[in-house]
Amino acid sequence: MPLSRRTLLSTAIAAPALGLLPAPARAASPPGDVVGKITVGYQGWFACRGDNSPIDGWWHWNDDWSQPPAPPTSSVVAWPDVRDYARTYQTAFANLNNGRPATLFSNYDRQTVDVHFQWMRDNNIDTAALQRFNPTGGEGPIRDAVTAHVRPAAEATGRKFYIMYDVTNWQNMQSEIKTDWLNKMSAYTSSPAYARQNGRPVVCIWGFGFNDPGRPWGPEPCQDVVNWFKARGCYVIGGVPTHWRLEIEDSRPGFAGVYRSFDMISPWMVGRIGTPADTDRFYTNVNTPDQAECNARGIDYQPCVLPGDVGARQRLHGDFMWRQFYNMVRLGAQGIYISMFDEFNEGNQICKTAETQADVPAGSGYLALDEDGTRCSADYYMRLTGDGGRMLKGQLALTAIRPTQPWLGGPPAPDVDLAAGRPTSQSSQTQHYGSGFVVDNDPHSYWESANNAFPQWVQVDLGTAAALRRAVLALPPNPAWGRRTQTLAVEGSTDGQSFSTLLPAAGHVFDPASGNTVTLSLPGTQVRHLRLSFTGNTGWPAGQLSGLRVYT
C-alpha cells in the first residue's frame, strides 16, 4: 500500500504573484485552538507484530507488514529514540551501535500515545491534527483504536486535537467521509480537548486539488464535501497544494472555488524546500501573496513548517526550521502547521529521534541528529517547535537568530554525561563483551578485553571536543565481582589518530563494597576521543569496564 504524502515533486518557484481577485475583506479569526497556535500533524500510524492490534503486523515500519523491519525493506528513513516507551518490539535490524537492541514502538499501545502527548505538553505544542485515512480499508480498526487513545491523552495533558481526513486513494470518499463523521468521529467533538475555532469544531480535509492519481476527483465532489461539513457547523481547514492560489504545478485547474471556500488554508510544503535560501524565496514569491490573498478574502492562513529530512542532511541543527518560523511569523500567519510530529517515513519528524550514530542500528545507514557535526538532544526539534510557538504568540521577540540550543544549556552542562550512547571502539574483546556496553547505562553489562594479552584499550568518541574535568569508571555492582586493582592510563585525542596522556598509568581500586566505581580528575584538556589503556588487573587477566561516564 503506498504511503500518503510522499514527496510529490521538487517545485521550482517560477511565476510571480498574480493580483488579488476582488473580494470583500473581513477580519481574521481571533485566537482559538488553531488560530494563534502551533499544530502538529500526528500520524499515529505505527504498529508492530505482537502488540495485539487488529493488523498484527509491522504497520508503516516495513514494506511487508508481515515481516519485521530490516534493510532494505524498512519503510522508515530515520530511527526513533525509544527510551521513554514502556513497551517496544524487537525488529530484525542489528543491535544499535551502542549495543542496545533495535526495537520500535506501536501506537496501538496506549502508553505510546500518552508519551507523545506528554512530549507535546512539555514543549508547549498546542494542538494535534490526528491523521485519518480511508477508515473502510484495512487501516480502519487500528485507526479507530488510536483515535480512542488520543482523546484521553489530550484531555490529561491539556492539549487539543482534531480529525484531519487524508483522502489519498480513498475511492468512495465523497459518501464515506460523511458516514464516518456521522457514525464515529463527530462523537469526539464532545471532548473538552477537541479543537474549536470561532466556536466551531475543527475538521481538516487534506488532498483536494492535488494533481496526482491518488486524488483524482474534480472540483464538484470536493466542493460538496466542504459544504457538507460547514453546514454541520464545522470550521473546515483545507490541506491544499503548494500552488493552490495560481492552480499550477502541483494543483489541478478549476479548484479556485473549492480552495477559497475553506475557513483556513494550509498549503503543503514537504519536498518543496530544503535550504534556508529556498525558504526565503518561498516567503517572497509564494507565502507573501498567499497571505495577502487570504487576508483579502477573510481566510485564515496556516503555512507549513518542517524540520527537514534527516537523511537528506537538510536540518542544519535547527537553522533550516527556525528560518521558516521567522519568515512565517513576520508574515503575520494566523497559525503554523508542523509537518510532522512522528513522520519517520519521510524523515521530517520532530519527536524524539536518535541523537548519534551510537543510537541507530549497526549497518543500517541511518543518519542521526548529529549528522552535520553538531550534537542535538533527542527532543531538540520539539524544543525548537516550542520556541517557534512562543515567537508566534509574541512571548518571544521576532528574531532571525535561533534561540534554542541543540543541547540543553548550550554546551553540555557539567552534570551531563558526554559519553552516554556515543560510539566506542576497543583493542579487542572476549566473546560478546564489546565496548558498547561501557556507555549503555546498564551497570551489569561490561566490556572485557582479550585475556592474558595486556596492554589493551577501550575508547569513546564524544562527537565534539570538550574540556573534560571528570571521568567515572565502573564495574558491575555485584559482590561476585571481588575487589580488584586495575592499572590504567587515560589518553585523549581531537582527531582519533594522535593521542596524548591526560593521566599517567596508575593502579585504581574497584571495590563492590563502595559501588565498584572509580572517579578520576582530568586536567580540562579539549578532547573528543577519550581512551583508557589497561596494563594490569589483579582480579582477572584482562581489561574490564561496565561504565565510562565523562563530564565537563
Residue 24's pLDDT band, with cuts at 50, 70 and 90, is very low
Q: What pLDDT digit, counting tens, does each position of 66-93 carry?
A: 999 999 999 999 999 999 999 999 999 9
Task: Give residue 419's region: left, alpha or beta (phi > 0; psi -120 to 50).
Answer: alpha
The C-alpha torsion from 184 through 187 and 188 to 192, rounded to 10°, is 180
3-state secondary structure of 276: helix
Residue 3's pLDDT band, with cuts at 50, 70 and 90, is very low
| Secondary structure element (H or E) that encloses residue 520, with its range | strand 517-521
Instruction: Identify the pLDDT of residue 373.
Output: 84
Instruction: Identify the pLDDT of residue 513.
Output: 87
Q: What pLDDT digit, counting tens, does each position of 198-222 carry?
A: 999 999 999 999 999 999 999 999 9
Q: What is the pTM of this model?
A: 0.74
Residue 100 has pLDDT above 60, yes or no: yes
Q: Kindly state the average pLDDT of the residues 534-546.
A: 97
Residue 423 has pLDDT above 50, yes or no: yes
Calpha distance 472→494 (Å, rounded): 20
Residue 26 to residues 23, 266, 472: CA-CA distances in angstroms?
10, 19, 65
Name which of 213, 210, 239, 408 is nearest 339 in CA terms: 239
Residue 27 has pLDDT above 60, yes or no: no
User: What backbone torsions phi and psi does residue 15 show, to the nearest 5 degrees?
Assistant: -85, 140
Name which of 136, 142, 70 is nearest 107 in CA terms: 142
Calpha distance 176→247 (Å, rounded): 27
Instruction: Identify the pLDDT of residue 381.
Output: 98
Name which of 421, 386, 419, 423 is nearest 405 in CA terms: 386
Calpha distance 81→46 (Å, rounded): 14
Instruction: Identify the pLDDT of residue 17.
Output: 33
Q: Kindly state the average pLDDT of the residues 36-54.
A: 96
Calpha distance 241→257 (Å, rounded): 14
Instruction: Identify the pLDDT of residue 242.
Output: 97
Name which of 3, 5, 167 is nearest 74 in CA terms: 3
Read off the C-alpha cell for 336: 503554523
User: What backbone torsions phi and psi does residue 131 show, to the nearest 5 degrees?
Assistant: -70, 135
Residue 6 has pLDDT above 90, yes or no: no
Residue 552's pLDDT band, with cuts at 50, 70 and 90, is confident
How much is the mean pLDDT over the chain?
Answer: 92
Residue 414's pLDDT band, with cuts at 50, 70 and 90, is low
Calpha distance 529→435 (Å, rounded): 14
Calpha distance 385→338 (Å, rounded): 8
Instruction: Identify the pLDDT of residue 240.
Output: 98
Instruction: Identify the pLDDT of residue 4.
Output: 38
Read off the C-alpha cell for 153: 491523552
Residue that the C-alpha cell 492519481 belongs to: 213
Q: Kindly state the average pLDDT of the residues 402-428.
A: 83
Instruction: Identify the pLDDT of residue 409.
Output: 64
Q: What pLDDT digit, counting tens, does each position of 217-266 carry?
A: 999 999 999 999 999 999 999 999 999 999 999 999 999 999 999 999 99
The DSSP bridge partners found for residue 532 are 458, 490
Residue 84 to residues 73, 88, 113, 345: CA-CA distances in angstroms?
26, 10, 12, 20
Instruction: Identify the pLDDT of residue 453.
Output: 97
Calpha distance 519→173 (Å, rounded): 65
Percent with pLDDT over 90 in the chain: 85
Sequence-ordered alpha helix ranges (H) in 88-246? 110-122, 140-157, 173-183, 219-231
* Bridging pattern class, strands 544-545 and 500-510: unpaired
| Secondary structure element (H or E) that encloses residue 278, with its range | helix 276-282
Instruction: Identify the pLDDT of residue 19.
Output: 33
The DSSP bridge partners found for residue 474 are 517, 547
Q: Kindly state the average pLDDT of the residues 335-363.
A: 95
| Secondary structure element (H or E) that encloses residue 292, with its range | helix 288-297
Q: What pLDDT digit, counting tens, does each position of 163-179 carry?
A: 999 999 999 999 999 99
Residue 493 to residues 35, 36, 104, 356: CA-CA distances in angstroms?
52, 49, 35, 19
Going along the chain from its start, the domains and CATH numbers come out as: 38-392 (3.20.20.80), 424-551 (2.60.120.260)
3-state secondary structure of 536: strand
Residue 526's pLDDT band, with cuts at 50, 70 and 90, is confident
3-state secondary structure of 199: coil
Calpha distance 221→227 (Å, rounded): 10
Calpha distance 273→276 (Å, rounded): 8
